[in-house]
Chain A
Amino acid sequence: MTIGDTAVLTGRTLRHVTRSADTVITTAVTPIAMMLMFVFVFGGAIDTGPTRYIDYMLPGILLITIASGIAYTSLRLFTDLASGMFERFRSMPIARSGLLWAHVLTSLAANLISLVIVVGVALIIGFRSGADVLGWLAVTGILVLFTLASTWIAVIAGLTAKTVEGGSAFAYPLIFLPFLSSAFVPTASMPGPVRWFADNQPVTSIVDTIRDLFAEQPVGDDIRPALAWCAGILVVAHVLAMVVYRRKIA
């Protein structure tokens, strides 16, 4: 019954996504604009060696897409709390974890749609990858993991927000993080402390892994920290979200 209820609730939140197509488009438009600007304006000035710039920077754009998409997840959650829908569901005989999972699964679906749009535009402006099905599956897996990890952060934000703005403000640092990583510029060109931060923060290892997968290169040492970061953030954010949730509904 729990799975059935979660499916019904997920169907409801998915309708929220499909009926406000503007949120899916907004999610995709900002990263697409950034991509166009970087590729056609700044890209020529950035030295990425033999790698074409569009191929170099797409992984970072994909992470920015996810970071802007999850802002809507916390917004939808906040709206459910503020409108009383959550209380209505909570006074009904349905599993309470299902309420959160519906939002998490919807976040995953909405972000995957946005990612497909962004990759589509990237292909149009010249992105190419020789990766085979397994390579694409691996990229998808990493993106799904990163989406889930960020979504649970969004759940914490949505549950604790006092205002609509507060519910989405947490996403700005996440959107900004790729700029302080190897996503757009090789870290070797950065000054000391910035470079140290960029080399050691999660985005760099994730972006480098995806780039290697797209380029059919061995992923080497990057995949382990990439997976560890994603899994670690996922577990910590999930546990924290459940603590906040229990406190909220105690």
Chain B
Amino acid sequence: MTVDHPAIRVRGLAKSYGTVEVLRGVDFDVARGSILALLGANGSGKTTTVRILATLLKADAGTAVVNGFDVGAQAAEVRESISLTGQFAAVDGVLSGRENLVLIARLRHLDDPGAVADGLLRRFSLTDAAARRVSTYSGGMRRRLDIAMSLVGRPAVIFLDEPTAGLDPEGRIEVWRAVEELVGGGVTVLLTTQYLDEAERLADRVAILREGRIVVNGTLDELRRLLPPATVEYVEKQPTLEEVFLAVVGRRA
């Protein structure tokens, strides 16, 4: 494991379910300490890719190396290096927010699970709700807790599979802030999304998955250069539904 190797390296990854070829040779790298957004329509294979990288699913062909470890041959080491926030918030509704965090901290054999939990609760503005059962949380709060649980033990690589799917605009912004919190600590993030604006806001690079392959991979500027040159038009700007919603509930992005 050398520092100049990318944190994630994927080459020729292929996966079929029965006769349905979902991945047909996916290649991409994620540099250490950066955020890559894997952008793709519903059913394009984003979750399949993430589950292979998180050792939950075996690929049919190709290689994937995470934090210097092969996902097939060194699954245990990969699991030591990663955390997964799946497409649906995987939180324990019967436990309180704090108990959820303490549980993960104990499973990661940390020295002071209570202190780790309290720190994360503060960081994700969940301190007030810490003692409440998670089943009473809003969608945005569940997601924030979900992401906080993924940070326990400071894994080197974090997978976020559609972290804002199914959230209202307010919840979406809460989660965006939580993801922005991750940056800076040297952590590497692979994020999947269906939304260009989400990729734009959060990611250093964007890879577009289509028909089982990465069709475009670049920085946002590089992606913009692929579009026809901008023309200047004057249009009356209508507020977006999102802006209206946020104005009504009294919050700003």
Judged by a CB distance under 8 angstroms, whether B58 is at the interface is yes
CA distance A85 to B85 in the complex (A): 10
Judged by a CB distance under 8 angstroms, whether B246 is at the interface is no
**What does the 1/0 interface line of A185-202 toward B look like (CB < 8 Å)?**
000000000000000000
Q: Given the complex, which residues of B lie within 8 Å of A88, measured CB to CB?
A: 84, 86, 90, 149
Verify B84–A15 contact, CB threshold 8 A. Answer: no
Verify B79–A92 contact, CB threshold 8 A. Answer: yes
Q: How far is the CB of A247 from chain B (nearest CB, A)?
A: 12
Q: Given the complex, which residues of A lie within 8 Å of B84, measured CB to CB?
A: 87-88, 91
Verify A91–B95 contact, CB threshold 8 A. Answer: no
Interface residue from A4, A12, A90, A250 paired with B103 (Cβ < 8 Å)? A12
Judged by a CB distance under 8 angstroms, whether B170 is at the interface is no
Q: How far is the CB of B47 from chain A (nearest CB, A)?
A: 11
Number of residues on chain B facing chain A (CB within 8 A)? 27
**What does the 1/0 interface line of A82-103 toward B look like (CB < 8 Å)?**
0111011111111000000000
Q: Given the complex, which residues of B lie within 8 Å of A250, measured CB to CB?
A: 58
Q: How far is the CB of A1 from chain B (nearest CB, A)?
A: 7
- B53: nearest chain-A partner, CB-CB: A91
Q: How far is the CB of A212 from chain B (nearest CB, A)?
A: 41
Verify A87–B103 contact, CB threshold 8 A. Answer: no
Q: How far is the CB of A127 from chain B (nearest CB, A)?
A: 35
Question: Chain A binding site: helix, strand, loop or mixed by DSSP?
Answer: helix
Q: How far is the CB of A144 from chain B (nearest CB, A)?
A: 26
Q: How far is the CB of B210 from chain A (nearest CB, A)?
A: 26
Q: Given the complex, which residues of A lie within 8 Å of B86, measured CB to CB?
A: 84, 87-88
Q: Given the complex, which residues of A lie within 8 Å of B55, measured CB to CB?
A: 90-91
Given A8-B106, A12-B103, A91-B92 contact (CB < 8 Å) = no
Verify A249–B56 contact, CB threshold 8 A. Answer: yes
Q: How far is the CB of A236 from chain B (nearest CB, A)?
A: 28
Verify A91–B94 contact, CB threshold 8 A. Answer: no
Verify B103–A93 contact, CB threshold 8 A. Answer: no
Within 8 A of A (CB), among B174-198: none
Interface residue from A20, A84, A90, A94 paired with B89 (Cβ < 8 Å)? A84
Verify A20–B54 contact, CB threshold 8 A. Answer: no
**What does the 1/0 interface line of B76-114 toward A look like (CB < 8 Å)?**
100110111010111111110001000110111100000
Given A1-B109, A12-B92, A91-B56 contact (CB < 8 Å) = yes
Q: How far is the CB of B209 from chain A (nearest CB, A)?
A: 21
Q: Given the complex, which residues of A lie within 8 Å of B106, measured CB to CB?
A: 8
CA distance A93 to B75 in the complex (A): 9
Judged by a CB distance under 8 angstroms, whether A246 is at the interface is no
Verify A94–B56 contact, CB threshold 8 A. Answer: no
Interface residue from A8, A12, A87, A89 paired with B95 (Cβ < 8 Å)? A12
Q: How far is the CB of A102 from chain B (nearest CB, A)?
A: 11
Q: How far is the CB of B189 from chain A (nearest CB, A)?
A: 15
**What does the 1/0 interface line of B42-62 toward A look like (CB < 8 Å)?**
000000000000111010000
Verify A87–B90 contact, CB threshold 8 A. Answer: yes
CA distance A91 to B77 in the complex (A): 11
Given A84-B86, A88-B149, A16-B94 contact (CB < 8 Å) = yes
**What does the 1/0 interface line of A1-40 toward B look like (CB < 8 Å)?**
1001100110010011001100000000000000000000
Verify A87–B107 contact, CB threshold 8 A. Answer: no
Q: Given the complex, which residues of B lie within 8 Å of A89, measured CB to CB?
A: 107
Given A12-B103, A249-B56, A250-B58, A92-B92 contact (CB < 8 Å) = no
CA distance A93 to B109 in the complex (A): 10
Verify A92–B90 contact, CB threshold 8 A. Answer: no
Q: Given the complex, which residues of A lie within 8 Å of B54, measured CB to CB?
A: 91
Verify B56–A90 contact, CB threshold 8 A. Answer: yes
Q: Given the complex, which residues of B lie within 8 Å of A90, measured CB to CB?
A: 55-56
Sort A-B residue pairs by CB-CB distance and give the 8 closest, nearest first: A84-B90, A91-B84, A88-B90, A93-B79, A91-B54, A93-B80, A8-B106, A84-B86
Task: Add 9 more A-B contacts to A83-B91, A90-B56 (CB < 8 A).
Answer: A4-B109, A8-B107, A9-B107, A12-B95, A83-B92, A84-B89, A90-B55, A92-B107, A249-B56
Residues of A bordering B, CB below 8 Å: 1, 4-5, 8-9, 12, 15-16, 19-20, 83-85, 87-94, 249-250
Residues of B bordering A, CB below 8 Å: 54-56, 58, 76, 79-80, 82-84, 86, 88-95, 99, 103-104, 106-109, 149
5 contacts between A and B (CB under 8 A): A4-B109, A12-B95, A15-B99, A84-B90, A88-B90
